[in-house]
Chains A and B, each alone.
Chain A
Amino acid sequence: MIDFSPQPVQLLSLDGERMPRPDFDQWVDDLDGPALLALYRDMVVVRRIDTEATALQRQGELGLWPPLLGQEASQVGSARALRSDDFVFPSYRENAVAYCRGVKLTDIVKVWRGNAQSGWDPYTVNMATPAIIIGAQTLHATGWALGAQRDDVDSVAITYFGDGATSEGDVNEAMVFAASFQAPVVFFCQNNHWAISEPVGVQAHRNIADRAPGFGIPSLRIDGNDVIAVLAATRIALDRARTGNGPTFIEAVTYRMGPHTTADDPTRYRDPAELAEWKTRDPLLRLHRLLSALGEITPEVEAATQAIADAAAAELRAGCIGMPDPEPLSVFDHVYATPHASLERQRTDYAGYLTSFGSVEQNSKA
C-alpha cells in the first residue's frame, strides 16, 4: 500500500529520546519529570490490571476480557488530556481510559463477569459504559456534543473506536453530523491493525486519517505508542473543540499485542514476526528509557510503581471474586423508567413461580 499521508507524528523515539517538534511541543511543555513519571505509572498499572483480568478469565472468574496490551499509551495519553467535565464515549477496550477517569477497578470487570450490562454510573465519572455494537457510540458522542453546544459550555465529547469501526455506517454518519454542525467532539481512532482477524488493509485502502478531511474534519496521524504525542494531539483536538472550531479526527497508530478477546486465537491469522516487530515499539519501554535518562527512574521508584500496580491487581481480584450475584428478580429491573403493565405481570408471575419452590432468596444460587 502506498503511504499517502504523513508518517505518524512522534515526539518520543524508540530509544526514549525526546524528538523536538515545535508545532506539538508547545502543547506538552508542562511535561516535567514527575508528570512523565505519572504517565508511566498509569501505564504500568493498567498493564498490570489487564494482565490480572486476563488471568481471572482463564481461572473462570470472568466470562470474557478484551485485553488492551500494547495500547496503553493511546489510552492513557488521551485520557489524561481530558477535563473532568468532558465526556467519554468508549468502545469495549478502553479499560485504561476508565481507570484514568476514576472508575473503580471492580466496576471495570463487572460487565465481563456477567453481573450487569454496565459496570458504573456514567455520570459519576463522565464516561459512558462499554459500547459493544461497533461504532454506535460515535453518534452518541456527536449528539452529546450537540447538547454541549446548545448549553453554551466548552465541554467536549471524545469517542474511542478502532480501525474496524471506521467501516461502519455509524462512524461515517457521525463524522457527517459533527462536521455539519461543527460539534465539539474528538474522534479518537486507535488503529491497532486488527479487527479480530481482519488486518487494517481490509478496512482501509489508505491511511484512516486521510478520510476525515473528506468529511470536513481535520485529522492528525500520530504514533499511538508514544504517550507524549498522544497527549499533545488530544490537547490540540480538545482545544479546537473548546474554542468553537469543531471536530478533529485522531488516528493513533498502535498495535493490539494480545488477542481481540480472551476467546480469540491470533496465532491462526497473525505472523509472529509482526508481533515481534511491534514489541520493539512497546509504549512502556520507550518512556522507561526516557525516564531513566532523566534520572526519574531509580530502583526505589521502580519498586514503588510495581507495588502500586500489584496492589491494584489484588484489589481487582478480590473485588471480582467477592462480587455478589444479582438477585433473580432484578432481571426485570429498569427495562422502563416507569412501570410497564405487561412486564409487571411477568415479574409477578415469575416471583410466584420462584416462591413455589421456596423463597426467592433460596433460588438465587440456582
Chain B
Amino acid sequence: MTTLMTPATVSTVPGLTAPAPTPLSETKTLTMGKAINEGLRQAMLDDPKVVLLGEDIGALGGVFRVTSDLLAQFGARRVIDTPLAESAIIGTAVGLAYRGYRPVCEIQFDGFIFPGFDQIVSQVAKFHYRTQGAVRMPITIRVPFGGGIGAAEHHSESPEAYFTHTSGLRVIAVSNPQDAYSLIRQAIASDDPVLYFEPKRRYHVKGEVVPELGAAMEKAVVVRPGTDVTLLTYGALVSTARDAALAAFDEGISIEVIDLRSLSPVDYAAVEASVRKTGRLVVTHEAAQSGGLGGELIATITERCFSYLESAPVRVTGFDVPYPPAKLENHHLPDLDRILDGVDRVMGRR
C-alpha cells in the first residue's frame, strides 16, 4: 500500500520469569508496603480480570516496591508497565473496565495524579451515572500520599479532598498493614471506582496481618477508646493521634481516636456515636485546611450533634500553602504537639 506511511517496528517488553510465591495463608508480620503487595497478589489470584497498570510497576516493582514480584508471577499481560502518561493510565483503565476488566492503577506519587485528574473526575467517576448503570467502573487507583519523607516538590501532597468532593468515587485511606491488606482486596472487589490512598511514610511500619477481608471498608474504627475528646483522622496521622492520646492520658484527658479509613462515604454513625459521648471534636489531617475534609466533617457533625457539643470543634491541619520544601515540612505537618494543642483548645485549656 503506497499510501500507508509506515513507522519503524517497535520492540515488545520481555516478561520475567520466577517461581510463584505462595499467597498469604497465615498470620504474618509484614510492612504496610508488603501487606498491599500480598493483597494485590490475592486479588489477582481471585480474579483473572484484575490487571495492574502503572509506571515502573513491572521489573522494578514500583518505586516503593509495592508491586514487587507480581510481573514474574502474573506476566506482562496482567502487570503492565505503561508509558509515562497518567491520563492514559486512567483512560485506558476505563476502556479495560468497559470490557469487563478490573484495573488497578498505580499513580507513582500524589502530586502526579493531576494529569490524570480529568479522566478520574470526568470519566471514571461519572460513567456509571452517565450510562444509568450499564457500564461499571471497578477501577482502583492507588496513590502513595502525604509528606514526612523529605522529598522534592510534588512528592508529599494530600489531594484526597478533590476526590471526596467528586460524586461517583469512593475514597479510602489506610493506616496500618492489616487494613492495607484487607482494604486493597475490598477496593479491587468493589464495583465502584476507589481511590486508595497509601501513607508513604508508613510503608515500612510493620504489623501483624491476618489474611482476611476484615470489617467493611466503609467502616471507621475506634483505635483507642476515650471519653473526653473525639480525635478524627486517617492515613499517616493515625499513629500520631494514638501517640497524642497516650500523652494526653498522662495529663488526665481521655481521647477517643477514630481512624476513618473511608473518606467517602464517611462512617458518620461511628463519628456521631463518639461525639455524643465525648462532646468534643478535633479533626487532624495533613491536607490544607480550606476546603479540606476537616471542614466537611465538622460541619456535618455540628449539624447532627450540635446539642451534644461542649465546645467548638477544632481543626489541626496542614497550612493553606503549597507543600513546602523538605526543611520546612515539619512546620507544615500536624505533629503530636500541634494535635495536643488542638486538644487543649477544645478542652478550653487555652
Contact = CB atoms under 8 A, between A and B. Distances in A.
B319 interface: no
Interface stretch (A70-78, A116-124, A304-312, A355-363): A116-124
B172 to A, nearest CB: 13
A143 B132 CA distance: 21
Given A133-B122, A213-B7, A140 B131 contact: no
B168 interface: yes
Contact of A177 (B1, B5, B88, B97): B88
A292 interface: no
A2 B183 CA distance: 58
- Most A-side CB within 10 Å, residue of B87, B92, B118: B92
Which secondary structure dominates chain B's binding surface?
loop
A150 B95 contact: no
A346 B122 CA distance: 22
B16 interface: no
A337 B265 contact: no
A147 B78 CA distance: 10
Interface in A210-227: 210, 212-221
A157 interface: yes
A337 B170 CA distance: 11
Looking at chain A, what size class is its interface with the partner chain? 35 or more
B140 to A, nearest CB: 14
A6 B3 contact: yes
Interface in B128-168: 128-136, 138, 167-168
Interface string A143-162: 11111101100000100000
Contacts of B191: 337-338
Given A147-B99, A150-B77, A174-B91, A213 B85 contact: no
A219 B118 CA distance: 28
A142 B90 CA distance: 11
A228 to B, nearest CB: 15
A125 B119 CA distance: 24
A136 B133 CA distance: 20
Interface in B88-140: 88, 90-101, 103, 115, 118-119, 122-123, 126, 128-136, 138
B91 A136 contact: yes
Contacts, number: 190
B95 A142 contact: yes
Interface stretch (A56-64, A190-198, A259-267, A328-336): A328-336
A212 B122 CA distance: 26
Given A143-B98, A220-B3, A341-B268, A176 B132 contact: no
A173 B98 CA distance: 19
Contacts of A182: 10, 12
Interface string B63-95: 000000000000001101011010110111111
A37 interface: no
A290 interface: no
A121 B123 contact: no
A341 B95 contact: no
B83 A122 contact: no
Nearest to B91: A139
Nearest to A143: B95
Contacts of B126: 117
B328 interface: no
B98 A144 contact: yes
B334 to A, nearest CB: 25
Contacts of B100: 147
Interface string A14-29: 0000000001000000
Contacts of B132: 116-118, 121, 333-334
24 contacts: A23-B1, A121-B132, A122-B98, A139-B87, A139-B95, A140-B94, A143-B91, A143-B95, A143-B97, A143-B99, A169-B85, A170-B91, A173-B91, A180-B10, A215-B7, A221-B3, A334-B131, A334-B132, A337-B133, A338-B191, A338-B192, A340-B170, A341-B265, A341-B269
Which 6 pairs between the two chains have the least Cβ-Cβ distance?
A143-B95, A139-B91, A147-B99, A143-B92, A173-B88, A337-B191
Given A142-B88, A143-B95, 16 more contacts: A23-B1, A123-B135, A129-B131, A136-B91, A138-B91, A142-B95, A143-B96, A143-B99, A143-B103, A173-B88, A177-B85, A333-B132, A335-B129, A340-B170, A341-B267, A342-B266
Interface of B: 1-8, 10, 12, 51, 77-78, 80, 82-83, 85, 87-88, 90-101, 103, 115, 118-119, 122-123, 126, 128-136, 138, 167-168, 170, 190-192, 218, 264-269
